[in-house]
Amino acid sequence: MKIRHKLVIILAVLLIALNGIVGFFIYKQTRLEFTKEIRGKARMLVIQLETTRNYLASIMHTIELNEQTKKFIPAVATNAISKNFAKKTGYIIKQTSLRYRNEENKPDPFEEEILRKMEEDPTIAEYWADEVFHGKRVERYLYPLYVTEDCLLCHGPKENAPSVVRDYYDAGYDYKLGEIRGALSVIIPKEIAEQRYAAAIIFFIIIGTASILLVVVIIFFTANKFLKPIEKLTAAATAIKKTGDLTTKVEISTNDEVGQLGEAFNDMSDKLRSSYAMLEQRIAEKTEHLQRAVSALKRANRMKSEFLANMSHELRTPLNAIIGFAEVLKDKLCGDLNAEQEDFVKDIHSSGRHLLQMINDILDLSKIEAGKMELQYEVFLVSDAIEEVYTILKGLAKKKLLQLKTVIQEDVKDIEADRVKFKQILYNLLSNAIKFTPQNGTITTNAAIVDGKMQVSVSDSGIGIKPDDQGKVFKEFWQADSSFSRKYEGTGLGLALTMRIVEMHGGNIWFESEYGKGSTFYFALPLTKSQKIQFLEGVEEEETSSHTLPPAAKKEGKTILVIEDNRMSANLLTLYLTNAGYNVVVSADGVDVVEKAKKCNPFLITLDIMLPGIDGWEVLSKLKGDKNTAHIPVIIVSIIDNKELGYSLGAAEYLIKPIGRKQLVGAVNAVANTLKIKDKPMKILVVDDDEKAVKHITTILKEKGSDVLKAYSGEAGINLALEMHPDIIILDLMMPGISGFEVMERLKAHPVAKEIPIIICSAKDITAEEKRELNGNILALIKKGSHTEEDLLLAIRKIEQSHHKG
């Protein structure tokens, strides 16, 4: 919208508003004055009528009343005058009395009420009121008539009244001098008054509208003259903006300030065109330099990625052997060690783990910088995560006689974040606190909700941080103790990595420290996932376990084919598996893998991904593509972290090097146990009160070779589960008596039955709250009426696989 249009609209609105306000006040004042005028006329009218009545009453003594002269009786004459006046003016005037003689003078309810008030209060000289009369708005006016001596001629004692009055009227006698005889009632329709002031208002509106239109027209043409040059300037500037053509000129012929502005605009356009040409030349030069720099950066980044990939393989491969063989010696699988040898082996093992941690930290940082680390969001209890980290670090704290305290506020419940990374943040902060706190010190972890975020702090009574060093705390490879006589070990990567993980969650981290007295590190994370950050690959934290070694599979002599090109890694895997009771066949490459598997007939294959000649992915595809080897479970053992691809290609388990003996043997035994289940029919308990549903599921399962147990109530299902120990339970939720929720609760509380996998098969729509209740207690959920045979069998196969993937 143009400026002149806006100006005209604004002025028009202001004038209309002003006219409206003035018109309102004129309307109010005019209406008030007209009302006063009408009331004045009504008052004058009744005074004239009263005067006429009084005059006629005074001459009644001189006139002989008969049929001809009775028209001069005051009441009769007043009625006649009122009717004629009403016809000509619209005013309704009547006489009224509480003791009326004529029906015409009978008071209406309003008149009766006012007459009684006047009798009670003689000071009322007149009475005005607004009312609705016969459906119309009217002004009501009552003027009282008092009895005079002349009135008593007709209204005194009846026997003294003229014969013509006695013959016609039975009422209206025996009045006393000064009493109220009645009143003159005037009814004025509002429309009589409104016609006059409405005409005045219409006249004002016409004059006001005409003046507004005249002013608007004058302003429009005046503004057009002054604003036309400005519009030319605007059009020229817009053309330059759209086309970038700095040759655009504006022609303004006026000699005023606007003309000078036009000349300045043209000069500026010329100078900009010249500057733009010079700028384009410089940009071209800079772009060429930048392209060369970008190419160099891409090459450097590619070399960095290749270097990290090579370093990951080259460092982790020998570390796998160092840590693995040290663990073998430490666990005395190759014979007893003397005390000195045992100490040396422990040193080798701990040093290898320390070096592995440093490599993992460096790789984690490089992945974050490359945007390749992905957060796996889940909802978990903060208190549980803190307790899990405490479980790992309690041993270190106990060695230094440190006291670990936890303060969790009541409003702290769960958080949606990456559980592993959350624990890694806590682990780094708590391990630093333990490292830099002297013996008999105290470390406190506090969790609270602050400003809508989860805020966790770790406070210690340690050495603190010098003021000069506090700006370096989150830098890579910086350490609180950097002297030549270092007392505290560390790579200086923990806090830098912690800060990056916190920031990936959308949080922030900071600290407070006083040198010599201790430090407090804080971090705050959003309570829920604010946005989904996608990266190319994820990083998983290796969790150490203090559990005992799982028992070896009881199928003695089972053969495992190990496909591994690194001699030390192959020897280590052979040692682990042979000691666990398995026969091992080693292949250094994946060539002719199907023929090798047919020849040695293994019950399980371990596979490295990085093989000479052919990579592990192709080997896995060949194994799963041949009907003779497709059934053999494959455990991937590699430094390559791509579990999802491995599982999608059919791997039974995915282990990342370096791996421990317990981890490997546990995975192999889990697969062996699964195969043991497959060697015999699956025993499946179906619990459902619907006999048709039980029959349908039984038919499907028996066709696939499973043994089926049937229970038609929750109580019967619990009893059969405890008595027969089925491999799987298929459970309906909605049953009379004991519901499926209660069945599951009682089974999960039993020390043996709690391990039985449960598949929910129900027609009930599961609510969000019920899903949370079921979470962790079931392994599959199938909806009745919509599932197919494949859905049910797929759920059972997933449960079989969960024995070794869980």
Q: What is the pLDDT of residues 779-797, one digit of tens each?
A: 455 444 434 445 555 555 5
pLDDT score at 367: 63
Q: In the predicted model, is pLDDT for residue 198 greater than 50?
A: yes
| Per-residue pLDDT reduced to its tens digit, 321-342 | 677 777 778 777 678 888 888 8
Cα angle, residue 402 at apex, residues 401 and 404 outer, rounded to 5°: 140
Mean pLDDT of all residues in 666-688: 71
Quick one: pLDDT band at residue 193, thresholds 50, 70, 90?
A: low
At residue 269, φ and ψ (nearest 5 deg) are -60, -40
Q: Is the pLDDT of residue 495 over 90?
A: no
Q: What are the tens digits of pLDDT across the range 252-290?
A: 666 666 666 767 777 777 777 777 778 878 888 888 888
The Cα angle at residue 39 between residues 34 and 44, in degrees rounded to 5: 125
Check if the beta carbon of residue 501 is closer than 8 Å to that of residue 421. Answer: yes
27-31, 48-52, 710-714: lowest mean pLDDT where? 27-31
Question: The tokens of 262 are what?
Answer: 């036009």
Burial class (CB in 10 A: 0-12, 13-18, 19+), 479: middle
**Top-confidence residue, 713 or 310:** 713
The answer to whether the beta carbons of residues 761 and 697 sit under 8 Å apart is yes
- Name the band, by pLDDT with cuts 50, 70 and 90, for residue 134: confident
Please give the Cα distance from 20 to 676 (Å, whole number): 96
* CB < 8 Å & 24+ apart, contacts of 616-619: 616/563, 616/590, 616/640, 617/645, 617/649, 618/590, 619/563, 619/590, 619/593
How many angstroms separate the Cα of 374 from the Cα of each of 80, 382, 528? 106, 21, 16
Task: For residue range 360-390, list pLDDT tens digits in order.
Answer: 766 666 666 656 667 778 889 999 889 888 8
Token digits of residue 546: 């203090």
The secondary structure of residue 256, as a DSSP letter, is: S
pLDDT of 448 = 93
Q: Are 345 and 327 in contact (CB under 8 A)?
A: no
The residue behind tokens 């008149």 is: 111
- Give 217's pLDDT tier (boundaries 50, 70, 90): confident
Q: Round to whole Å and give the CA distance between 97 and 139.
A: 20
> How many secondary structure helices (H) and strands (E) does the chain include?
21, 21
Residue pair 654/667 in contact (Cβ under 8 Å)? The answer is no
Average pLDDT estimate for 170-174 = 85
Percentage with pLDDT > 90 across the chain: 5
